[in-house]
A and B are shown apart, each in its own frame.
Chain A
Amino acid sequence: MKTKSIEEKLAVNKYDIDREVHIRLQEDICERCDRRPCLYACPAECFKLLENHITFSYEGCLECGSCRIVCEEGAIDWTLPRGGFGICYQYG
């Protein structure tokens, strides 16, 4: 099988994307963080480093909670999408 990028993989998933953002970062804490485990722990690679700033996009989130566990700085306000929204596995 041809290697697929993470974006191509997420594109086959079914989502019902909420207008409300369910995970927020406290950017001042992220600025001070030098380990940045979120960049590697997130299996959907929702965390990106842009010009030394951590950015997060919630649309591809698989709601696994990895970022919540690895961020020990307390920078991630982690909740779940509203009922019925977010990832909707067809196989699982």
Chain B
Amino acid sequence: MQGFDAIVVGAGPAGCACGYTLAKSGLKTLLVERGKFPGAKNMWGGVYYGPALNRLFPGFWEEAPVERYILRHRFSLLTQDSSFSAEFTSKRFSDPPYNSFSLLRSKFDRWFASKVEQAGAIVASGLQTDDLLWKGNQVTGIKAGGDELPSSVVVACDGVNSLLIEKAGLQKNSSPRDFKLGIKEVIQIPRNLIEQRFNLAGEEGIAWEFIGPFTRGLPGGAFIYTNKESLSLGIVVQLSALAKNNVRANDLLEEFKNHPAVESLLVDGQLVEYSSHLIPVSAKAMMPELFTDGFLVAGDAAAFLLATGLTLEGANFAIASGIAAAETVIRAKQIGDFSRNSLSDYLNLLKQSFVLKDLKTFKKAPHFLENPRLYRQYPELVCDLAEKIFTHQGRPRKKIWKQLRESMDGKISFWQIIRDLMRMKGAL
């Protein structure tokens, strides 16, 4: 049986970008997806920052199923009964090429995979990859659905729980501390109510992040992103901290939804989906081996994800690494060599691109973001001080500096703040 030049496993952003690039350059490509359709197994928070996709499909928002372009980024620190918010917006955010979009993966990945198919690849959905084929130390294809499918190279884009990495015998370096658990509700709300409540018009959207007591001091936060006729609302919490502290993510999500700053936004909303996903947040520290003979790893499977506290960015890294893997395979095909040595080009391409550069720049960020003071003491300090400043007690005011000292008393010291700032300087 005539084999494929490349089999790409997993039709998420990494696999689709890889499959598209391969098919475009004329390689015989198979994209395999275990879900009933591409996107069926995929979820995320929901905002995509466009550059990598825009390079692949200039003006993609004209045809891709995007929800809203993000006009406003808001960030709120909450206490039990108060909130302190900052918002950034720019005129540039409302003009093409836009800065970012809210997106729902079930629709978006289906669109992306259809582009791969149009480029000439075969897309096989509902097909679970059970094992790899081998010839000596060389991966030579996959076993899927009882069939053996030969291929010069296999690209594993099978996500955060990649089973193919293990099957390929690549070294994994992760521990429970390296993962955050994201859970999300999609809540349907009539379009006009979304626009009223979030002060939006037309296709404008907001991306809103929260830190507060709902995570009970565990590293993590919450988000609300506006879609056309729904909200994506969820929390992201360190998985090991949940297990260690006997806390259920869903209980935290309900606490968040019941916060006074959030509750009124959800009135008359109807839950239409509850989803969850793991997020590999330790980047460089948890990265597996990235290639072996006839085998490459891209996207979440390779832990290519940047967590800086305010942003969790995986899709650009997935797309860029998928393209780098494809370029490596295209060159390997030209010289007829799919050995480990030939595929090591992949590492060079990643090192030249933002993928490994960004992960290196922010390699201390994951550890910094485990600091519990970021999730309890600082939000309380900011809200407490703001309350003092904005409230008149009916008696002479103290200097703001003195009020700050009072807010800090017994909770946090200047020494700790300075130490945290120094750590932040190193990490971010």
Q: Say if A and B assemble together.
A: yes
Query: Do the beta carbons of B163 and A92 come within 8 Å of each other?
Result: no
Task: Select which of A40, A88, A91 is within 8 A of B242 by beta carbon.
Answer: A40
Query: Do the beta carbons of A89 and B276 come within 8 Å of each other?
Result: no
CA distance A83 to B128 in the complex (A): 4
Interface size classification for chain A: 35 or more
Query: Do the beta carbons of A89 and B41 come within 8 Å of each other?
Result: yes
Task: Select which of B105, B179, B248, B269 is within 8 A of A89 by beta carbon.
Answer: B105
CA distance A90 to B258 in the complex (A): 26
Task: Select which of B34, B176, B249, B263 is within 8 A of A43 by beta carbon.
Answer: B249
Nearest B-chain residue to A65, judged by Cβ? B161
Interface size classification for chain B: 35 or more
Query: Do the beta carbons of A84 and B105 come within 8 Å of each other?
Result: no
CA distance A40 to B276 in the complex (A): 14
Query: Do the beta carbons of A43 and B181 come within 8 Å of each other?
Result: yes
CA distance A55 to B242 in the complex (A): 20
Asked if B344 is an interface residue, CB under 8 A from chain A, the answer is no
Contacts of A72 in B (CB 8 A): 176
Q: Which residues 75-92 of A have a CB within 8 angstroms of B?
A: 79-84, 86-92
Nearest B-chain residue to A60, judged by Cβ? B274
CA distance A66 to B248 in the complex (A): 12
Query: Do the beta carbons of A12 and B145 come within 8 Å of each other?
Result: no
Known interface pairs A65-B160, A70-B176, A88-B40; A12-B273 also in contact (CB < 8 Å): yes
Asked if B11 is an interface residue, CB under 8 A from chain A, the answer is no
CA distance A4 to B270 in the complex (A): 11
Which residues in B have some Cβ–Cβ distance to A below 8 Å? Answer: 34-36, 39-44, 104-109, 125-128, 144-145, 160-161, 163, 174, 176, 179, 181, 183, 185-187, 230, 232, 239-240, 242-250, 254, 257-258, 263, 266-267, 269, 271-278
Name 7 A/B residue pairs within 8 A (Cβ), A-sorted. A1-B269, A10-B274, A39-B246, A65-B160, A84-B125, A87-B41, A91-B106
